[in-house]
């Protein structure tokens, strides 16, 4: 087999080269100057906006405080108010003595039977709400993705639907559902589920918008429907992200369901209300510890699960 190679142009430096390099240096310097100026302007705007918001938000307020000797004086609000935080926290702390530790501890967690039952209810509310949210958000995330939506009307409609469910906070949904279905965990499940559907649908649809469209074209070219393209081309690509976001949402939902009882929608939250109205401040710290422990356990567990799944992904 014979072949010829087309002659290459010789590698010489022509006379115009030095001026081209000088021109580059000039352009580069201009570009750098512009970048620096833009950065300076951006920083200035950000700092002034922040300062303005802080001023509107009373961060610079001067208030009258009572001094230990009874005199009234004008002080900046932040150092004046901070001690009161300690005052509140110390009110919620129980008295624990070394020689009577267990009876003191028992008195602190005196309602532990009710609390554990409500904690169990709280986790179940979060679980059911996450399931509803995942199913709804998953189904809506495909028509709500710009690259996958069958047409712009469906896109517009699903996006607005997700926005409405997401924008209304779950505590407000809880108020509405308690009004409809009376006090109890069902209202909580619906409230958190509705909000989670909107939040997850948005996250999932953003995942959908970042996928590789070529597999979908491959399914389409073989005679697949829109549903086939989604099922075979899109779902396998987005599944790891969907699982990850779902576990994250479960953690968030446990936090939500522990407060939602405040408006009567089931779970531990109702105990906060009871404790506050009966001025049982030490109950608040006990409840806080229970929720903190639960959230830590669930965070840890779901993180392990997520990493395990990501690890499984890497293996062929």
Partner 1 sequence: MSSALILSNVSRSFGETHAVDNVSISIEPGQFIGVIGRSGAGKSTLLRLLNRLVDPTAGSISFGDTNITALKGKALRHWRRDCAMIFQQFNLVDRLDVLTNVLIGRLAEHGVLSSMTMQFSDEERAMAIRALDRLDLVPQALQRAGTLSGGQQQRVAIAKALVQRPKIMLADEPIASLDPANATLVMDGLKRINREDGITVLVNLHTLDTARAYSDRIIAMRQGRVYFDGTPAQLTDDVVRDIYGLDGLQEFNAAVTSTSVHASVPA
Range in contact with partner 1 (rule: CB under 8 A) among 1-9, 81-89, 140-148, 166-174: 1-9
> Which residue stretches of 142-228 are H helix?
152-167, 170-181, 185-209, 214-221, 226-228
Interaction between residue 4 and partner 1 (CB under 8 A): yes
Which helix (H) or strand (E) covers residue 270, if one does? helix 269-277
- The label of the residue with tokens 């001026």 reads 19
Beta bridge partners of 64: 74
222 binds partner 1 (CB under 8 A): yes
Tell me whether residue 1 or residue 180 sits nearer to partner 1 (CB atom).
1
228 binds partner 1 (CB under 8 A): yes
Report the nearest approach of partner 1 to the CB of residue 154 (Å). Answer: 17
User: Of 242, 223, 221, 220, whose CA–CA distance to 145 is shortest?
Assistant: 242
Residue 273 contacts residue 183 (beta carbons within 8 Å) = no
CA distances from 56 to 52, 53, 78 (A): 6, 5, 15
> What are the phi and psi torsion angles at 283 (to 5°)?
-60, -35
Instruction: Give the span between the Cα atoms of 119 and 133, in whole angstroms.
Output: 21
Shortest Å distance, C-beta 1 to partner 1: 5
Q: Are 192 and 126 in contact (CB under 8 A)?
A: yes
Binding flags for partner 1, 238-277, as an x/- string (CB under 8 A):
-x--------------------------------------
Spell out a b/e string for 253-291, using b for 16 or more CB atoms within 10 Å of the CB, else e: bbbbbbbbbbbbbbbbbbbbeebeeeeebbbbbbbeebb
Cβ proximity to partner 1: between 46 and 239 the closer is 239
Q: In the set 80, 168, 215, 306, which binds partner 1 (CB under 8 A)?
A: 215
Q: How many residues bind partner 1 (CB under 8 A)?
A: 26
Is 228 or 251 the residue whose CB approaches partner 1 more closely?
228
Residue 3 contacts partner 1 per CB under 8 A:
yes
Residues in Cβ contact with 29 at an 8 Å cutoff, skipping those fewer than 6 apart: none
Residue found under tokens 């039952």: 117
**Of 34, 53, 103, 225, which lies in the binding site for partner 1, with binding defined by CB under 8 A?**
225
Instruction: Return left, alpha or beta for 276; rule: phi > 0 is left, psi -120 to 50 is alpha, else beta.
Output: alpha
By the rule CB under 8 A, 210 interacts with partner 1: no
Contact segment (CB under 8 A) with partner 1 among 4-12, 122-130, 166-174, 262-270 equals 4-12
Taking the complex as a whole, the smallest distance from the CB of residue 80 to partner 1 amounts, in Å, to 59
217 binds partner 1 (CB under 8 A): yes
Is position 107 an interface residue for partner 1 (rule: CB under 8 A)? no
Q: Which is nearer to partner 1, 176 or 213 (CB)?
A: 213
Cα distance between residue 137 and residue 147, in whole Å? 17
Residue 214 interacting with partner 1 (CB under 8 A): yes
Both tokens assigned to 99: 């020689």
> What is the torsional sign of CA 244, 135, 238, 156?
negative
Indicate which single residue of 18, 42, 236, 301 sits in contact with partner 1 (rule: CB under 8 A). Answer: 236
Q: Which of 57, 86, 311, 316 binds partner 1 (CB under 8 A)?
A: 316
Query: In angstroms, what is the minimal distance from the CB of 202 to partner 1?
Result: 24
Residues lying near partner 1 in the complex (CB under 8 A) are found at 1-6, 214-215, 217-225, 227-228, 231-233, 236-237, 239, 316
């Amino acid at each position: 087999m014979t072949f010829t190679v087309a002659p290459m142009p010789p590698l010489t430096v022509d006379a115009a080269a030095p001026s081209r390099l000088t021109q580059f240096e000039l352009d580069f310097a201009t570009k750098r100057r512009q970048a620096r100026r833009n950065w300076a302007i951006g920083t200035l705007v950000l700092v002034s906006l922040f300062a303005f918001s802080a001023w509107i938000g009373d961060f610079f307020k001067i208030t009258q405080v009572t001094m230990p000797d009874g005199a009234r004086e004008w002080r900046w609000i932040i150092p004046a108010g901070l001690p009161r935080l300690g005052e509140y926290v110390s009110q919620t702390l129980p008295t624990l003595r070394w020689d009577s530790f267990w009876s003191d501890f028992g008195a602190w967690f005196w309602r532990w039977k009710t609390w554990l039952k409500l904690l169990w209810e709280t986790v179940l509310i979060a679980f059911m709400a996450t399931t509803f949210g995942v199913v709804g958000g998953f189904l809506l995330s495909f028509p709500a993705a710009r690259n996958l939506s069958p047409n712009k009307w469906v896109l517009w409609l699903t996006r607005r639907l997700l926005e409405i469910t997401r924008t209304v906070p779950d505590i407000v949904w809880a108020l509405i559902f308690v009004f409809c279905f009376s006090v109890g965990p069902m209202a909580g499940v619906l409230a958190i589920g509705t909000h989670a559907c909107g939040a997850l649908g948005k996250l999932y649809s953003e995942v959908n918008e970042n996928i590789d469209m070529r597999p979908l074209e491959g399914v389409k070219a073989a005679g697949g429907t829109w549903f086939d393209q989604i099922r075979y081309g899109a779902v396998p690509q987005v599944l790891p992200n969907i699982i990850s976001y779902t576990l994250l949402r479960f953690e968030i939902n446990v936090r939500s369901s522990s407060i939602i009882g405040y408006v009567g929608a089931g779970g531990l939250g109702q105990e906060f209300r009871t404790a506050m109205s009966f001025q049982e401040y030490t109950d608040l710290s006990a409840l806080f510890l229970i929720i903190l422990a639960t959230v830590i356990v669930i965070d840890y567990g779901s993180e392990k699960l997520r990493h395990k799944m990501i690890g499984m992904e890497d293996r062929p």
